[in-house]
Amino acid sequence: MPEVMNMAEETKKLLYVMTNGPENPDKTYAPIYTAALSAAMEIDTSMYFLMHAAELLRKGAAEKVALKKGGSLKQFIDMALENGVKFYVCEESLRDLCNIEPDDVIEGVKVVGTSTLADLALDADSVVSF
């Protein structure tokens, strides 16, 4: 048989914590791809971007992150959002570390405080950190 999905119908929650930014493009793709896949598997999936990862969510930034496999990170962010991944970005990282105003963040991302990370982590069934 193909890998058969036989999970209980109860929806599980996964939180991915993302800290890698455009300074390390090889580490940006897999977390977002994995989150997109989790959402496709009907897992309630959230991603929390902090530190330099916040830079990836600046308008026009993901297009400039070239991937070794070809293309840019933009298509994977779009895919994750389309699959239903909830994107959160740390406002402190955004403003103080990356010098980005909330208005410069792409659509579909919630700008939240650091305390939201604690809420999301406690609410999730598992937390995966990159």
Partner 1 sequence: MAILNGCEIPDDLYYYLEGSQMTWIRLEGENATLGLTDPAQTRAGRILHVRIKAVGTTRERGKPLATIESGKWAGPVHFPMGGTVMKANEQLEIRPVLINDDPYGEGWIAQIKITDQSELSGLLRGEQAQAKFNEIIARDNVKCIRCQK
Q: Which residues make up the interface to partner 1 (CB under 8 A)?
A: 1-6, 33, 36-37, 40-42, 69, 71, 79, 82-83
| Cβ count within 10 A of residue 23 | 9
Q: What is the 8-class DSSP label of residue 102?
A: G
Least Å distance, CB 72 to partner 1, is 12
Q: Which is nearer to partner 1, 3 or 23 (CB)?
A: 3
Least Å distance, CB 42 to partner 1, is 7
Q: Which is nearer to partner 1, 73 or 98 (CB)?
A: 73
Q: Which is nearer to partner 1, 40 or 121 (CB)?
A: 40
Dihedral of CA atoms 117, 89, 32, 70 in degrees, nearest 10, equals -160
Query: Exposed, middle or buried, 128 (CB in 10 Å: 0-12/13-18/19+)?
Result: middle
